[in-house]
Amino acid sequence: MTLSLRSLAEECGIWIGAAVGIEPLSSDGTFCDVLAREFNAITPDNAMKFEHLCPEMGQYNFRDADEIVSFAQVHRMHVRGHTLVWHRRIPQWLLKQDLSRDQVVAVLEEHIFTVAEHFRGRVAAWDVINEAVEENGLFQDSFWLRGIGSEYLELAFRWANQADPGALLFYNEWGGEDLNRKSDAVYSLLQKLVQHRVPVHGIGLQMHVSLMEPPDRQGLVANMRRFADLGLQIYITEMDVQIHNSPGSLKQQLEAQAEMYREILEACFSISTFKGLSTWGVTDRYSWIPQFTGYPDAPLLFDESYQFKPAYWALLDVLQSR
């Protein structure tokens, strides 16, 4: 077997994944080749979001998500389902309605069962809840919180587990990578869920980071460790590293970026329940970051023409030394 992130990750027993959009997957052959060669896990970047799956009331359309899942099956890759419950990407037809608590509960239950049963046995891990806590540690305001109250979190995990008892269930969050008010609040939440025997198996740390605001390394390790001590798996779910505005030449920026990828994967390996790391995309060509920040950037492992970047070699090196 040729040397790749994938082959080394498989020897280490971890997942190395990437988020994918339906467009490059159906039109860019090089994208598909690199994806299948270098990664053993896939996260659909948008295709499994509520609005995408169910743009019209009562009419689910699984075409794009199924295409991504089929690709994963053909290439023997794990699928991380993303995401069952989020405050964003809720379809307009739903937001427009004025519903009682019981009705919102029923909508959420039906959505989770419809989606998780559809993919039962094909999605290995679900981001059941995405981003439910704000930076100040309070629950994120949302259609679900307003309609149901914070009990929606526990309900969602229980329903996902009933719909697909074989899937690993994650709570996924951004900005809670090291020790801060958000990660403290997420920790308390998960501690409570674990105590109440809610079926939650892991914490996803998104890891959208920037060279200008690096996560605190010791804080990251301490944070991952406290979640691991709750018995939870640790997964870096959406890593990308922005270089915009960081000092030095492009070459120096890309080297600093590689060091950040290296440090974070090394930190992960110090945690016994570390399960895997996924980047939010394969190539800088299709990264979501320029649209999100408004600046050109190069946050991933492959450049716009699919050349290996220093960050790629850094991860390869960490895996090789395991």
Query: Closer CB to ligand XIL, residue 45 or residue 297?
Result: 45
The answer to whether residue 46 forms part of the interface with ligand XIL (CB under 6 A) is: yes
User: Is 131 labeled as catalytic in the residue annotation?
Assistant: yes
User: Is 117 labeled as catalytic in the residue annotation?
Assistant: no
- Phi and psi dihedrals of 242, rounded to 5? -70, 140
The site for ligand XIL, by CB under 6 A, has a size of: 7
Query: Closer CB to ligand XIL, residue 130 or residue 278?
Result: 130
Distance CA(299)–CA(239), nearest Å, equals 9
Q: Which two tokens stand for residue 107?
A: 């909508």
- The footprint of ligand XIL on residues 232-271 (CB under 6 A) is 238
Which amino acid, one-letter code, is at 150?
A: S
Could you please report the per-residue DSSP string of 61-74?
--HHHHHHHHHHHH
Query: Closer CB to ligand XIL, residue 14 or residue 132?
Result: 132
Closest CA to 312 of 82, 56, 3, 103: 3
User: In whole angstroms, how close is the CB of 221 to ligand XIL at the nearest point?
Assistant: 23
User: In whole angstroms, how close is the CB of 130 to ligand XIL at the nearest point?
Assistant: 5
Candidate list 4, 40, 130, 161; residue touching ligand XIL; CB under 6 A: 130
Integer distance in angstroms from the first to the last C-alpha of the chain? 18
Pairing of strands 202-205, 125-130: unpaired
Pairing of strands 15-20, 41-44: parallel
Query: Closer CB to ligand XIL, residue 83 or residue 233?
Result: 83
The answer to whether residue 288 forms part of the interface with ligand XIL (CB under 6 A) is: yes
User: In whole angstroms, how close is the CB of 139 to ligand XIL at the nearest point?
Assistant: 17
Closest CA to 318 of 271, 244, 268: 268
The single residue of 131, 135, 255, 259 carrying the catalytic annotation is 131
Catalytic residues: 131, 238
Give me the residues that bind ligand XIL (CB under 6 A), please. Answer: 45-46, 130, 174, 206, 238, 288
